[in-house]
């Protein structure tokens, strides 16, 4: 099976370099018409330039593909609306959205300002919300859509000095979960990609990294699957150095505790609360309540 995107239109945010550039180039190579979005700012979100987006669009066109550049911040609702309208005016549809734009303002939580926390959330999380909202009705109307969020192991598992980044990245997983549920009847599939790659976003992680093994292009094959015709939905795909793994938000079977000493029972049975035997990946948040009510009912029947 060859994954192709002929006739499809893709918007890739943060596509002026790193992972976004590789995603845009690969989509263009496989037949997609690509909107290369990038604000052209520094890693911390300052500055701005049309150069990066224009350069990647030129690369796609030079390779025989179709592409346009869109220079706006994903936090700029009017700019995003203009980008989507320009896409519709030129190609008449939007099939794929890759929410990849991001910034870093790393510091320990003790030293981090609320402004730095809010700015990172605005770009990563609200930027994805703004872009997804801008294409949502288009995808619903055409009964087809593929949206990819760029999450991170920093959100899934935590990372020192990245409270703002981790919170934003885990927020994207929550956004994915609900959009996938609401988009299912319209064949809108929503997934998350957690990449490990050597880009300017990760250049401070240490000089001992094998930069060739962590090339961004080794992550992109996973992205291509997540936005393809045969894409899954609600998947969290981890990718890096040619490795691909799945992450899951699961729910254990846990215990039932009630009465005056319930807190002590939870403490005493903590290992059972955490026991992964029989854990599930819920279809929706309601699964937790259903599981808990079922345990309560069984406990009352047995009393």
How far is the C-alpha of 145 from the C-alpha of 168, rounded, in Å? 23
Q: What pLDDT does 199 receive?
A: 58
pLDDT > 90: what percent of the chain?
Answer: 90
Q: What pLDDT does 1 receive?
A: 85
- Reported as a single tens digit per residue, the pLDDT across 152-169 is 999 999 999 999 999 999
**Residues whose CB falls within 8 Å of the CB of residue 17, separated by 6 or more in sequence, listed in order:** 38, 52, 56, 199, 200
Give the total residue count for the chain.
303
For the chain, the average pLDDT equals: 94
Over range 160-189, report the average pLDDT: 98
195, 150 Cβ separation under 8 angstroms:
yes
Q: What pLDDT does 209 receive?
A: 60
Q: Is 166 left (phi over 0), alpha (psi -120 to 50) or beta?
A: alpha
Q: What pLDDT does 40 receive?
A: 86
pLDDT band for position 41 (cuts 50, 70, 90): low
Give the residue among 197, 281, 280 at the shortest CA–CA distance from 234. Answer: 281
pLDDT: which is higher, 44 or 65: 65
Catalytic member of 144, 157, 165, 186: 165
Q: What pLDDT does 200 receive?
A: 55
Q: What pLDDT does 30 receive?
A: 98
pLDDT band for position 210 (cuts 50, 70, 90): low
The question of whether 186 is a catalytic residue gets the answer no
Burial level of 204, CB count in 10 A (0-12/13-18/19+)? exposed
């Amino acid at each position: 099976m060859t994954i192709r995107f002929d006739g499809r239109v893709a918007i890739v945010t943060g596509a002026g370099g790193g992972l976004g550039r590789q995603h845009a180039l690969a989509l263009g190579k496989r037949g997609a018409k690509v909107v290369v979005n990038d604000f052209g700012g520094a890693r911390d979100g300052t500055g701005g330039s049309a150069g990066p987006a224009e350069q990647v669009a030129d690369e796609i066109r030079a390779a025989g593909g179709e592409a346009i550049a869109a220079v706006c911040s994903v936090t700029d609702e009017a700019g995003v609306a203009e980008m989507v309208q320009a896409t519709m005016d030129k190609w008449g549809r939007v099939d794929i959205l890759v929410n990849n734009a991001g910034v870093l303002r790393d510091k320990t939580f003790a030293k981090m300002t609320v402004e730095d926390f809010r700015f990172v959330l605005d770009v990563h999380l609200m930027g994805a919300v703004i872009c997804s909202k801008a294409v949502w009705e288009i995808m619903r109307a055409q009964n087809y859509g593929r949206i990819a969020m760029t999450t991170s192991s920093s959100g899934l598992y935590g990372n020192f000095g990245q409270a703002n980044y981790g919170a934003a990245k885990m927020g994207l997983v929550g956004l994915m979960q609900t959009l996938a549920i609401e988009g299912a009847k319209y064949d809108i599939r929503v997934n998350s990609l957690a990449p490990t790659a050597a880009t300017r976003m990760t250049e401070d992680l240490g000089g001992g990294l094998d930069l060739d093994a962590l090339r961004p292009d080794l992550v992109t094959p996973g992205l291509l699957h997540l936005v393809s015709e045969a894409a899954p939905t609600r998947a969290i795909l981890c990718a890096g150095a040619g490795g691909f793994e799945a992450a899951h938000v699961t729910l254990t079977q846990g215990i039932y505790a009630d009465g005056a000493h319930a807190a002590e029972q939870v403490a005493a049975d903590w290992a059972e609360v955490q026991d992964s035997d029989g854990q599930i990946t819920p279809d929706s948040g309601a699964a937790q309540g259903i599981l808990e009510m079922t345990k309560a009912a069984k406990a009352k029947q047995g009393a």
